[in-house]
Structure 1
Amino acid sequence: MSWARKAIRGVLLDLSGVLFDGDVVIEGSIDAVARLSAAGVPVRFCSNETSIPHQAVVDKLNKLGFSVRAEQVFTPGPCVRKVLIERGLRPFLLVTKEAEAEYSSVQQTEPLNCVVLSDAQDAFHYQNLNKALKVLIECDKPTLIALGRGKYYREKGELNLDVGAFAKVLEYASGVKAEVIGKPEPTYFNAALDDMKVAAEDALMIGDDLENDVGGAQAVGIRGVQVRTGKFMPRDEQNPNVTADGRVANLAEAVDVILAQWTS
């Protein structure tokens, strides 16, 4: 496979759609991750999962049977919390109840001057979106932060609107451009590369989202491989904007190829 002809020195893995679907492990993924670790391949888990706090993501992975450390897992929540505190932003949080714990150290007193959108799921109802709009319109220097740019995701076999779709609604209504923290932003991928101490041209991103996983990685020089699990659709192969460096049936197949050429 052409994407593996050049040595791979580090691997970035998406979570939902690659390792699991909801609470169900995708066949072969636990063993695939274990084989990478056993071979000494640096691995980082890069997800836009924000419906639960970072530590809960780590706990979920380990409960499902993956063996991961907290520092290996990159999610947008901790990055957003740092930005909010450093910039003195007081957000209206359009997040799930579970995710609110991620922001317990952030000031949220009136008047609010920021809106944070994450995987809010059922909290994306009219009243909350309308409140978010009012915050953005009524303050002097409004800030809109979206934890990702995804259009939709697949969970338990069903497609669901993702945070990027709701960010577009608020951008249109308020005239405020969203700051995106998470995939496909270059800073997100570069942080994982820096942590692995691996150059972009020596790394591989494996994901099910053609635009945010594959396209985002390619934008910073990382090879991107799409799995035919999760949100993959056959039409992805004719996408006019993003062409994956390769496609595999699942993570296990990708790991077979990686380990065939791996030398520690």
Structure 2
Amino acid sequence: MGDPLAGRALLLDMDGVLCFGTSPAPGLRRFLDAVADRPYLCATNNTLVTAADIADRFAGMGADLPAERVLTVSDALRDHLVATCGPDDRAYVLGSGPVAAAVADAGLAVDARRASVVVVGLDLSATLADLGPAIDALRRGARLVAANADPVLLTESGLLPGTGAVVAALLATVDPAAGGAVEYVGKPSPVMFQRALARLGVEAADAVMVGDSLRSDIAGAAVLGIATVLLTCGVTPPHAVLDPVPDLVFPTLDALTDALVDSSYDPPASRRETEVTA
């Protein structure tokens, strides 16, 4: 493969790579300056924010991340619904504003009684009663489309149930013979990665995914033949067992920037074999 960073468009995870909640990753502005002239796109599974929200958040950190450089899972959800739904389809929505907007932008009418597709994101104000129409629709054979399978949401005050937990609750009530498979859109689903590649206008072989999650970022990208770079400053600690094994591993965003700006950088040929897996 040679140098996975050379000449490839960058797909970037956000939390754990570019930021940690509302705090910037050390070296964020230096990194964004280093990649300003090359194609890159940030991809996030967060259903609670829009691309404009993220641009504003980064501006508050003193960093310039244009909204057009961001692909949210709600954006990908809209495109997936456009591609897979017909004019007679109706939806029931469990999700916050960006998810509801994605359904509306896809041209789907919301009709709980006649829903042929249940769309699930995360809504922190939802109650158990809100799951009722979704359960009824699924038992009638409606499709289940979920923004992601993330079981928890990490907040500054602790963990909350994530979209994956809502999906699990719905599936627990549905007769397997009546309910179909869940259509996941966010990472590690190929849907999200394929949409990101389309936005960048590149093939999988011409992109590299930079992330901190082996499951969502590295495994999801590798399935499509996208080169992978793991940062061990997020959810994957430095001495974790690497499965799957990324093409390159860096401890911090600053270390990745060093590799990007140093023309003499030569990635270790045996990185796969030498990475610590204690």
Structure 1 length as normaliser, TM-score? 0.82
Structure-to-structure mapping, 1:209-248, within 5 angstroms: 209-233=213-237, 237-238=240-241, 241-248=243-250
Superposed displacement of residue 153, structure 1: 4.8
Q: Which has the larger radius of gyration?
A: 2
Identify the residue that residue 28 of structure 1 maps to in structure 2.
Answer: 27
C-alpha RMSD of the superposition = 2.9
Deviation at 1:146, TM superposition (A): 0.8
Taking structure 1 as reference, are residues 19 and 116 closer, same or farther at Cα in structure 2, changes over 3 Å only? Answer: same
Q: 1:120 aligns with which of 119, 123, 134?
A: 123
Find the counterpart in structure 2 of residue 95 from structure 1: 95
1:94-243 maps to which residues of 2 (within 5 A)?
A: 94-97=94-97, 99-105=99-105, 106-109=108-111, 110-123=113-126, 125-137=127-139, 139=140, 141-156=141-156, 158-174=158-174, 175=176, 176=179, 177-233=181-237, 237-238=240-241, 241-243=243-245
Confirm or deny: 8 A CA contact 1:4 1:257 kept in the other structure. Answer: no
The answer for unaligned runs of 5 or more in structure 2 is 266-278
Per mean C-alpha deviation after superposition, the further-off stretch among 107-116 and 154-163 is: 154-163
Deviates more, 1:21-30 or 1:142-151: 21-30
Aligned to 1:19: 18
Q: Which protein is richer in helix relative to its size? A: 1
Give the CA deviation at 1:48: 1.1
1:173 aligns to what SS in structure 2? coil
Q: Is the 8 A contact 2:73 2:186 kept in 1?
A: yes
> Unaligned 5+ residue runs, structure 1?
none
The structural deviation recorded for 1:6 is 6.5
Q: CA–CA distance in 1 between the matches of 2:102 and 2:264?
A: 38
Q: Is 1:55–2:57 an aligned residue pair?
A: no
Match of 1:78 in 2: 75
Aligned equivalents of 1:6, 1:102: Cα separation in 2: 33
CA distance in 2, matches of 1:210, 1:230: 11
Identical residues among aligned pairs (%)? 25
Q: Distance in 1 between matches of 2:119 and 2:54?
A: 19
Moved more, 151-160 or 162-171: 151-160
**AA at the equivalent of 2:258:** D
DSSP-derived class of the 2:46 partner: coil
2:6 alignment counterpart: 7
C-alpha distance in 2, partners of 1:87/1:43?
Answer: 33
